[in-house]
């Protein structure tokens, strides 16, 4: 049994999944796997999620990409507008690079490839709440490969818009480091990193870690 060790003792988790069996499987993983998790409910469509989730006010949303009607990526963007503090993790069979960055640019903070195990799911939730960006191995490699490409004009422009320390932190974020890990690497406090990260978001006109990284990688303008 995996327990969550986060500043949120009982995170509220909701699911958007049109496949009834998969939805129930995710629910079972959450309810049985970690007694500290509160399960909010399942929406079968993006439209249902946008209608019901604002009242639920979940901390974490597990989102499928391929949904009937409005797609998961569009739902992410709209849900982030309705719930600015929500953390959305995509869970899907799609591993296409464009879809990955579309989801991250829309505001998702993580991307997992189905099928996921209970330990992967609970680990991703823990990482998300701690400020990380949980991703399946093959997705993380795609992001890293994009990060390793030669600097583009967009990347140079981002670097020029940030102070040297801020740009250094952005590079750590792009490599998947948690804020507390960045603090250890740079020998400063967690609160300093959190403050500088917020400043990076403001300068880049983004609202999340994934959007900041996507902008640096030239995936969004």
Q: Which CATH number fits domain 12-143: 1.10.3720.10, 3.40.50.2300, 3.40.50.300, 3.40.440.10?
A: 3.40.50.2300
Q: Is the pLDDT assigned to residue 138 strictly greater than 80?
A: no
Domain boundaries, the chain: 12-143, 149-216
**Contact criterion met (CB below 8 Å) for 94 and 107:** no
Predicted model pTM: 0.68
Give buried/exposed letters for 63-93 (b at 16+ CB in 10 A, else e).
bbbebeeebbbebbebbbeebeebbbbbbbe
Q: Is the pLDDT assigned to residue 218 strictly greater than 80?
A: no
What is 149-216's CATH topology?
Arc Repressor Mutant, subunit A (1.10.10)
Q: Is the pLDDT assigned to residue 127 strictly greater than 50?
A: yes
Bond preceding residue 115 cis, omega within 30 of 0: yes
What the block records as the tokens of 85 is 């503090």
**Contact criterion met (CB below 8 Å) for 82 and 50:** yes
Q: What is the pLDDT of residues 176-201, one digit of tens each?
A: 787 888 999 999 998 899 899 989 98
């Amino acid at each position: 049994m995996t327990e969550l060790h986060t500043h949120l003792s009982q995170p509220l988790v909701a699911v958007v999944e049109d496949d009834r069996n998969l939805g129930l499987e995710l629910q079972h993983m959450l309810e049985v796997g970690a007694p500290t998790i509160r399960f909010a409910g399942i929406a079968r469509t993006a439209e249902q999620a946008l209608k019901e989730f604002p009242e639920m006010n979940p901390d974490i949303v597990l989102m499928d990409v391929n949904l009937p009607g409005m797609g998961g990526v569009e739902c992410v963007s709209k849900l982030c507008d309705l719930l600015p503090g929500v953390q959305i993790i995509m869970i899907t069979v799609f591993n296409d690079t464009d879809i990955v960055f579309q989801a991250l640019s829309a505001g998702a903070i993580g991307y997992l490839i189905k099928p996921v195990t209970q330990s992967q799911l609970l680990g991703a939730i823990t990482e998300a709440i701690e400020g990380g960006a949980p991703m399946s191995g093959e997705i993380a490699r795609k992001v890293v490969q994009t990060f390793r490409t030669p600097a583009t004009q967009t990347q140079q422009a981002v670097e020029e818009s940030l102070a040297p320390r801020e740009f250094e932190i952005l590079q750590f974020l792009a490599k998947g480091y948690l804020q507390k890990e960045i603090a250890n690497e740079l020998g400063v406090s967690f609160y300093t990193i959190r403050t500088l990260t917020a400043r990076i978001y403001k300068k880049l006109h983004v609202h999340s870690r994934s959007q900041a990284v996507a902008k640096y990688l030239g995936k969004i303008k």
